[in-house]
Structure 1
Amino acid sequence: MNEYEEIRKEIDIYLMKRFKYRRSLVRLTPDNIIVTTRRNSRVDLYLRIRKVKSLFPPDCLIVARISFNKERVGHGSHFVKFLAGTALKYGFKYIGIESTNDKSSSFARKLGFQSIDCSNYVISVENLISYFQNRG
């Protein structure tokens, strides 16, 4: 199992436990994108795994799309905290949030993400972990 497949598996296990799914929820595409596979799911995820520099720095896990059936109950913060731990484990240095809207850009700023160009945000894994540790 390669590193990207291991990350997919960890995210799958996390989502299955958090949202009480019995079957696998995510898959890895040939171009290293993790996506949820079920329609009408409680979670919708599209995550890019990138080792090379693009608009985002190299070694970045990029959340391109994430939404939850129930909003404002902590699912987003909990997932980003989990993602920071996963990124650290696999040597990724950054987490990005791509193509934000008003809600997601506000969420990104609240967690300490820095704007790249007003619609894309990035934070170092180290700073994100520090943010969660300081929150208690």
Structure 2
Amino acid sequence: MNEYEEIRKEIDIYLMERFKYRLSLVYLTPDNIITTRRNSRIDLYLRIRRVESLFPPDCLIIARIGFKKEHIGHGTHFIRYLAEIALKYGFKYIGIESTNEKSQNFAKKLGFHSIDGSNYAVSVENLLSYFKNK
């Protein structure tokens, strides 16, 4: 099992435990994108990138994240979990791609910085420090 499949498996287990699913939700596409199968409670699309692009190298990029129930901590809890996964697998950054106003505010609250006005990134070190101080 390669590291991308290991990350997929860990995120799958996390979502199954947190949201009480019995069946696997998460799969890995051939171009290393982790995504959830269509369901009513969770929408996730995560790019795994080791090379530099608009985002820095070694970055887990959230292209889409959504939870049916909002404003109860699911997003923050997932970002904290993702930072721990990033640290475990040697990723240095977490990014949020193509933000809207709501996700921009969320990113800023967690200490992400703007790359170009609609894409945000934060170092895993800074993110873990933010959570440690909370």
TM-score where L is the length of structure 1 = 0.98
Instruction: State the alpha-carbon separation in 2 of the partners of residues 72 and 2 from structure 1.
Output: 34
| 3-state secondary structure, aligned to 2:39 | coil
Q: What is the Cα deviation at residue 45 of structure 1?
A: 0.1
Unaligned residue ranges in structure 2 (runs of 5+)? none
Instruction: State the alpha-carbon separation in 1 of the partners of residues 68 and 3 from structure 2.
Output: 29
1:108 paired to 2:97: no
Aligned counterpart, 1:13: 13
Give deviations 1:91-113, integer Å, cap 9, x for gaps: 00000000000000000000000
Unaligned residue ranges in structure 1 (runs of 5+)? none
Aligned counterpart, 2:25: 25
% of aligned pairs identical?
78
**RMSD over equivalenced CA pairs, Å:** 0.5
Aligned counterpart, 2:67: 68
Residue type matched to 1:82 in 2? Y
Instruction: State the alpha-carbon separation in 1 of the partners of residues 6 and 13 from structure 2.
Output: 11
Q: What is the Cα deviation at residue 48 of structure 1?
A: 0.1
- Alignment of structure 1 residues 1-136 onto 2, 5 Å: 1-37=1-37, 39-135=38-134
Residue type matched to 1:71 in 2? E
| 3-state secondary structure, aligned to 1:54 | coil
Residue type matched to 1:105 in 2? Q
Residue type matched to 1:20 in 2? K
Residue type matched to 1:66 in 2? I
TM-score where L is the length of structure 2 = 0.99
Instruction: State the alpha-carbon separation in 1 of the partners of residues 110 and 133 from structure 2.
Output: 11
Residue type matched to 1:22 in 2? R
Instruction: State the alpha-carbon separation in 1 of the partners of residues 106 and 129 from structure 2.
Output: 17
Q: What is the Cα deviation at residue 41 of structure 1?
A: 2.7
